[in-house]
Structure 1
Amino acid sequence: MDETDYIIVGAGSAGCVLAERLTANGRHKVTVLEAGGSERRFFVELPLGYGKLFYDPKVNWLYKTEPDPGLAGQQDFWPRGKILGGSSSINAMVWIRGHKADYEEWKAAGNPGWGWEDVLPAYRAIEDNEAGADAYRGKGGPLFISANLKGLHPLVQDYIAACEQAGLPHNADFNGARQEGAGVYQMTIKGARRNSTARAFLRPAMKRPNCRVETRAFVTRILVEDGRAVGVEYRQGGAVKQLRARGEVILSGGAINSPQLLQLSGIGPGGLLSSHGIAVVVDNPNVGDHLSDHQGLNYTWSMKVPTYNDELRPLWGKALAGIKYLLGGYGPLAKSINHGGGFFRTDPGQPRPNMQLYMQAFSTLIPRVGERPLLTPDPWSGLSLGLSNCRPTSRGHIRIRSADAGQHPVITANAYSTDNDVTEMLAAVKMLRKIAAQPAFARLVEKELRPGPEVATDEEMIADFRARSGTVYHPSCTCRMGPDAANSVIDARLRVHGIAGLRVIDASSFPNLIAGNTNAPSILMGWMGAAKVLEDAR
C-alpha cells in the first residue's frame, strides 16, 4: 500500500504553500495530488497571457453556475485553475490582503488566532515586497511582490487624479495603514513572469526528497475508517489508485472542489448524500453552504488619446510588444491589465470601504470565441473602469450533481439576491460615472460606450448591471471556519468537525469573504495552516 505522512489534495494557492512549509524541516513525507498538469506554459508565465487561459480546458475547470435570477437568468462562467499553482497560475495577479477589520471579524466569529494581529506577522513573513519592509510589508520572504510602479500606462495618473477630484484620495499602498483610496495595485509578478505559488513555493519544495508531486491525479474520495481520514482514492492514467496517510489528509481544492470532495466522501448534507446513494459519514449541512463571491462589471469609454488598444490591436503593435517583452522584459505583456484600482465607500455611513475599483487602459467589448481577448482588444482607443462589491450579503451553495466525481457540481451563486447588494451596486456604478465626469478624465473622453448614456434611470442601471455583471473569481466560505458544527465545517485549527485527521485549508475555509482579491488570503491560509499542522504533530 502506497503511504505518506501528509496528503495534500490540490496544488493551488494554498496547497503549494502547504507543501513547502510541511517539507521544510525534512521530517515529514508529503504527497501532493493535483488534477491538472505543469504550470510551465508560455501563456501562464506571460503576465498578460491569462486571457488565453480563460477558456482552456488544459488548465481550467471551466465551471458554470446554474441560471441566476440575479444575473437576468444567465449562467455565469467561473474559471478555476486546474494546474500546478491552481488559480494563482491563471489569475490577474493582484496582491490584496483585505481590510484589517475583516480578520477581526474572523476572530470575533469564534476563531482565535485569526485576528489582524495574528495574520499580519504571517503576511510579512510570506512577502518579499519590492517596496521594502515596514510595519505592514515584509521583505525577504519566499513570495516576491512587485510594487508595479514602472512602465504603467500614462492614463493611470489621469485616473488617480480624477479619483482625487471625486473625493477619493491617493493611496500608495492598499496593504498598508489604510485600504481606502485610489492608486496602483501590487502584483505577484517577478522578473516579468507570473509569480504563482507553484513558482514561489512548490518548485523549491519539489527539490526536497520528502516532497512528491503527482499531476493528472484526480482525487475522487476520502477514505474514512472508524471516524478518521486515512487516505484518498484517485484516478491517474486510467487507473484507480489509493494513497494512505500516516498523519493527515488536507483538502486544498478551493471553494468548489473541497466541498464537492467532502460530499462525495459522505461528509455533508445528509439528505443530499442519501439521494445520490452515498453513505452518510457526517451529516453537516454547512458543507458547500455559505458560498460568497464578489460580483463586478465594467463601464467603458472611447478615448481621445491612445490606450493599450492602439498598441495591441494591430499586428505591428503585437510584434513590437513581443519584442519589448522578449528583449527587455517590459511593455504591456509584462503586466496584468489592472494597473490602477482602489477602494471606496458607497456612502459615508459605511464603517470601511465596501467597493473595489479596477482601472484598465484597455477595452474588450468585441468578444472572441474561446478566449478573453486581452491580446486582441477593440479596434478603437478604449478604456474601462470596473468595480466589484467587497462585502456582498448574498449567499449561494455548492451541491454534488451525482455520486460521479467527474461531474461538475451544481453551483448556485444567488448573485444580487439581497436588497443590500442591489442598493450598494447602484450607488457604486454612479461613482464610476462621477469619476469619469471629473476634469482630469472628462477632457480625455470621447463618449461612454457601455452601458451608454441612454442607461440613465436607477431602474435602467440596475437592469444593466444584472445583465452584465458576473463573478470576479473570488468564491469562498463553502467549508467555513467556526467553533460549532451547527454553522461551520472546520474549527479554528482548520480540522473538519466530526472527522479526525482531516483538514480543509484554502479559500473555502474563510469564515467570511474579505474585501479584495482572494489570492493573498488563500496563500495566508496555507502558511498559517501549515504552522497549525506542524504544531499539532509535535
Structure 2
Amino acid sequence: MTDTFDFVVVGGGSGGCAVASRLSEDPNTSVALLEAGGSGDNWVVTTPGALILMVSGKVNNWAFDTVPQAGLNGRIGYQPRGKTLGGSSAINAMVYIRGHRQDYDQWASLGNTGWSYADVLPYFKRSEDNEELDGEYHGKGGPLHVSGSRSDNPVRETFLQAAREAQFRIREDFNADEQEGLGTYQVTQKNGERWSAARGYIHPFMATRANLRVETNAQATRILFEGKRAVGVEFRQGKEIRQIRARREVILSAGAFQTPQLLMLSGVGDSAALAKHGIESRHHLPGVGQNLQDHPDFVFGFTSDAPHFAGLSFGGIARIFKGIAQYRRERRGPMTSNIAECGGFLKTRPDLDVPDIQLHFCMAMVSDHGRKPRWGTGFSCHVCLLRPKSKGSVWLQSADPFAAPAIDPNFLGEEADLHAMVAGFRMTRRLLDAPALKAMQTSDVFTAGVESDDDIKKTLRQYVDTVYHPVGTCKMGVNDSLAVVDPKLKVYGLEGLRVVDASIMPTLIGGNTNAPTIMIGEKAADMIKAEMRG
C-alpha cells in the first residue's frame, strides 16, 4: 500500500519548509515533506556558535566539492549545504538580508510577472517576526524570528568606528528603502537561539497537524511519472526503498544542486547528456542544471590579541567555556554569535545603481571555511561580488542517486568579475586599515605585502571560494530556451510538478539567499492555494 497525499514536497530546506507549512494550514489538504537529513532540533543547530562544527564538516551538511575551477588555478572549491530539516538555514550564519529591490524588479522585467519588489515584499513581511524593526518594510508575528545579535561583542562598535573613519555611511536597516552602507546585521534568532526555517514553519506543527507528514532520513531517488504527469516520489529511508504518491503535485525544494540532480535522474534535462548515463529521456529540458550563479568571496584574516575573538588559544578556549556557561544561564554572550556580526553593502564605483559588493565581518579568523584550524585568535572580513557575470552549471556524475552531483560555479570565469573583485579588495582594505581596526591587528595572515593589481589578482585566484549562495539552476523565465519553470514555478512541458527553492532565481540577488528562498516558499503556497480555489 503506497501512501498518497495531495502534495509531496521533496527537501525540508528554507523553501520546502515554508511551502509545506503554508499548504498544510488547510486541514483538508494533506502534505508529505521528505527530508534526507535528520530533524534539525538538537543543540548543534539551536546554538548559534556551533555553526562552525557544521559548516566545516559532515554534521547536518552534504559538504559537496566543486569540480576544479579554471578561474581559481584549478582548485577544487567547497560547497556546504544543509542536510537536515531547515536545510541550509540550520547551518548558515543566520544573516537576515532580502537583497535589493532592483533584483526583483529585474526578475519582473525579464517577463516573470508577479515577481517585482512590490509583489514579493508582502511575502517577506508575512514570513517575518522582527523583534526590533517595523514599519512599511517589516513584519511582526510571522514564523521566522529576526532580531539583533545578543553576543554583546564590543568589536561591533569598533567596526562602526572604523567605518566612520574610512568615510563609509552607517546603515541601520539593510532591508528598508536603501541598502548601501555598513552596520551590524540582524539575524534569524529568537532569545539567542538559531531560528531555522524548520523551527519556524515545521517543528511547531509536526505533532498538531494530522494532515502534515514529515519523513526524515528520507532521500528522494527519482520522481514517479505517468506519461508527462508527476504522480509521486521514490525515496530511500534506512535500507528500504519506498514510494509516496501525490494526488495534486510533486514540489521540488531540494536546493540549487539537488533539485536539478533529481530532475535529471528522473529523465528531465538535456536528453543527450542523460543518455550518456543510460537515463531514458522523459522530457527534453536543456536548462536543467544550467545558469548556476554564486557569490565569489575572498576573506581577509588577521591575528589579534584583543580579548573578544574566538579561536584556538588558551585565552580563546577559556572564553568558549565561559561563554557556554553564560549561554546556558541567560542565552547571551559569545555562543549566540553568528560569527559574521557586521558588514554591509558598498559600490566599488560611484556610477553604479546598486551596491556590487557585500562584506561579512567575522569575530574569528576563518581559514578555508574553518577546515584549516590555526592556533591563535583573530578576526576576518569577507568581501563578495554580488552580481557576478560568470555562470556555471550542475550535472550528473553518474546515474547513482546517492552520488554527489558535479558542481561548477565557474568562479572568476569572466575577466570582469576579477576586475570588480580587485576593486572590492581595495575598498575593503580601506576599512580594515582604518585606525580603529588597524589597532587590533597583530599580523595580516593572507594579504601582507599584496599591493599591486597583479598581486591582488594572484591572491584572489589563490583564495576565492563560495560564500554559500548558489542559485539559478532551474531558472524561472518566459520565451527563454534555458528556462525550466514558468512564473507560477511549474516545470515546462510537464504536469503536477513545481520547483520551490533558490534554483528558480533567474538572476542572483544582491545579498544572502535564505530570506529570499523562504519568500519563494511563501509566494508559491499562495499561488497553489489560488489555483485550488479557482
Same fold by TM-score greater than 0.5:
yes
Q: Per-residue deviation at 1:415?
A: 0.3
Does 2:202 correspond to 1:202? Answer: yes
Q: Secondary structure at the match of 1:213?
A: strand
Q: Which residue of 1 aligns with 2:479?
A: 484
8 Å CA contact retained: 2:473, 2:503: yes
Q: Secondary structure at the match of 1:75?
A: strand
Task: State which of 376, 379, 383 in structure 1 corresponds to 2:376.
Answer: 379
8 Å CA contact retained: 1:363, 1:378: no
1:189-268 alignment runs, 5 A limit: 189-206=189-206, 207-268=208-269
Which has the larger displacement, 87-96 or 442-451? 442-451
Q: Which residue of 1 aligns with 2:393?
A: 397
Q: TM-score, normalised by structure 1?
A: 0.95
Question: In 2, distance between residues paired with 1:309 and 1:23?
Answer: 42
Q: Which amino acid aligns with 1:2?
A: D
1:91-170 alignment runs, 5 A limit: 91-148=92-149, 150-170=150-170
1:435-474 alignment runs, 5 A limit: 435-452=431-448, 454-474=449-469
Does 2:334 correspond to 1:332? Answer: yes
Q: Secondary structure at the match of 1:339?
A: strand
Count of aligned residue pairs for this structure pair: 530
CA change 1:247–1:534 in 2 (3 A) is same
Q: Give per-residue Cα distances to partners, 1:83-136, cap 9 Å, x unaligned.
A: 111111111100100000000001111111110101111111111101132111
CA change 1:92–1:520 in 2 (3 A) is same
Q: Per-residue deviation at 1:313?
A: 5.0
Does 2:509 correspond to 1:535? Answer: no
8 Å CA contact retained: 1:309, 1:378: no
Q: Which residue of 2 aligns with 1:523?
A: 518
Q: Per-residue deviation at 1:394?
A: 0.5
Q: Secondary structure at the match of 2:481?
A: coil
CA change 1:48–1:122 in 2 (3 A) is same
Q: TM-score, normalised by structure 2?
A: 0.96
Task: State which of 505, 509, 515 in structure 2 corresponds to 1:510.
Answer: 505
Q: Per-residue deviation at 1:444?
A: 3.7
CA change 1:5–1:250 in 2 (3 A) is same
Does 2:419 correspond to 1:418? Answer: no
8 Å CA contact retained: 1:233, 1:240: yes
8 Å CA contact retained: 1:494, 1:505: yes
Q: Per-residue deviation at 1:363?
A: 1.4
Question: In 2, distance between residues paired with 1:413 and 1:299?
Answer: 22
Q: Per-residue deviation at 1:204?
A: 2.2
CA change 1:516–1:189 in 2 (3 A) is same
Which has the larger displacement, 324-333 or 56-65? 56-65
Q: Secondary structure at the match of 2:222?
A: strand
CA change 1:372–1:111 in 2 (3 A) is farther
Over the residues paired in the alignment, what is the CA RMSD in angstroms? 1.7
8 Å CA contact retained: 1:390, 1:515: yes
Q: Which amino acid aligns with 2:376?
A: P
Does 2:501 correspond to 1:500? Answer: no
Which has the larger displacement, 479-488 or 520-529? 479-488
8 Å CA contact retained: 1:96, 1:517: yes
Which has the larger displacement, 302-311 or 328-337? 302-311
Q: Which residue of 2 aligns with 1:42?
A: 43
Q: Per-residue deviation at 1:55?
A: 4.2
Q: Per-residue deviation at 1:446?
A: 3.6
Question: In 2, distance between residues paired with 1:267 and 1:391?
Answer: 29
Q: Which amino acid aligns with 1:524?
A: M
8 Å CA contact retained: 2:55, 2:369: no
CA change 1:307–1:488 in 2 (3 A) is same
8 Å CA contact retained: 1:311, 1:317: no
Q: Which amino acid aligns with 2:116?
A: G
Q: Which amino acid aligns with 2:409?
A: A
Q: Secondary structure at the match of 2:122?
A: helix
Q: Which residue of 1 aligns with 2:322?
A: 320
8 Å CA contact retained: 1:54, 1:372: no
CA change 1:261–1:532 in 2 (3 A) is same
8 Å CA contact retained: 1:303, 1:383: yes
Deviating above 4 A after TM superposition, structure 1's stretches of 4 or more consecutive aligned residues are 310-313, 365-368
Question: In 1, distance between residues paired with 2:475 and 2:311?
Answer: 45
Which has the larger displacement, 160-169 or 267-276? 160-169
Question: In 1, distance between residues paired with 2:19 and 2:313?
Answer: 38
8 Å CA contact retained: 2:363, 2:380: yes
Question: In 2, distance between residues paired with 1:485 and 1:497?
Answer: 11
Q: Which residue of 2 aligns with 1:350?
A: 352
Q: Which amino acid aligns with 1:186?
A: Q
Q: Give per-residue Cα distances to partners, 1:481-531, cap 9 Å, x unaligned.
A: 011352200000000000010000000011111011100001011100111
The percentage of counterpart residues that share the same residue type is 39
Unaligned runs of 5+ in 1: none
Q: Which amino acid aligns with 2:523?
A: M
Q: Which amino acid aligns with 1:334?
A: T
Q: Secondary structure at the match of 2:376?
A: coil
8 Å CA contact retained: 2:303, 2:376: no
